[in-house]
Amino acid sequence: MGTDNHVVCGHFLTASLSQSQVDFPGDPYSVSVLKVGYCLPQTDGTFTADGTITLITGPRTVLVDTGGPWDRDFLLMALKQRGLDPGDINVVVGTHGHSDHIGNLSLFPTAVIIVGYDISEGDTYRPNKLAEGHAYPIDEYVSVVPSPGHTGQDVSVQVKGTSAGTVLVAGDLFECCSDEDSWRDLSMNTAVQEANRQKALSTADVIIPGHGLPFRVLRS
């Protein structure tokens, strides 16, 4: 499942997966990357970017990041191809509040919406302890985990029990597998983000970053 493209990330060795390795079946939950995010600098000093969109299916159907508003038709079609309508999504998680990650929240008015540390159902907001560093369990297999640094309220989604082990849908905690030269420039708090990156690398078998292909964490 891995490749020879090994990258040192902090104290860990990682290996980027290929475009054909974006589905992680499991019981009871499977994880599928619907769209691989990207961030590409342009010659005029701008950059083009879009966030990774990930679907988690099982007892609950969870969408992690919705891409930018320009992804609306793509997202609807990707769900339809899997036999899903927006009303079938139980929980939508925006890993943080940037436009390329939460641009299509309005497609899911009946879902529980989690954006950063806010958890709402309609206009009702649920108390939680994400801001205190505690995970918010969706059930015993899927949890929303606080992972700030890129912004002040980033979250990731941890899925246990897939064929690849524990999968972490990490948002921009990681830009991509080989982001050691770039993530700090985009971070609000590099010390906090570095600590959360190392924690993620120590607990996840596969990480789905915000702007690149999934990668495996290699352990001896």
At residue 61, the pLDDT reads: 98
Q: What is the DSSP string of 176-197?
A: STT-TTTGGGG-S-HHHHHHHH
Q: What is the pLDDT of residue 157?
A: 98
pLDDT of residue 3: 42
| Residue 14 vs residues 109, 119, 175, 201: alpha-carbon distances, Å | 38, 32, 14, 9
The pLDDT assigned to 10 comes to 62
Strand 91-94 and strand 62-64: the pairing is parallel
Indicate the length of the chain as a whole number: 220
pLDDT in tens, 143-201: 999 999 999 999 999 999 999 999 999 999 999 999 998 999 999 999 999 999 999 99
Secondary structure element (H or E) that encloses residue 203, with its range? helix 190-203
The topology under which CATH files domain 6-41+51-125+135-218 is Metallo-beta-lactamase; Chain A (3.60.15)
211's tokens: 């702007």
E strand map for 42-129: 47-50, 53-57, 62-64, 91-94, 112-115, 118-121, 124-125
What DSSP character marks residue 141? S
Q: Where are the domains of the chain?
A: 6-41+51-125+135-218
Question: Both ends of the chain: CA-CA distance in Å?
Answer: 16
pLDDT at 219: 76
Burial, 65: exposed, middle or buried (Cβ in 10 Å; 0-12, 13-18, 19+)?
Answer: buried
Show pLDDT as tens, one digit a residue, over the chain (220 residues).
444 467 766 678 899 999 989 999 999 999 999 999 999 999 999 999 999 999 999 999 999 999 999 999 999 999 999 999 999 999 999 999 999 999 999 999 999 999 999 999 999 999 999 999 999 999 999 999 999 999 999 999 999 999 999 999 999 999 999 999 899 999 999 999 999 999 999 999 999 999 999 999 997 6
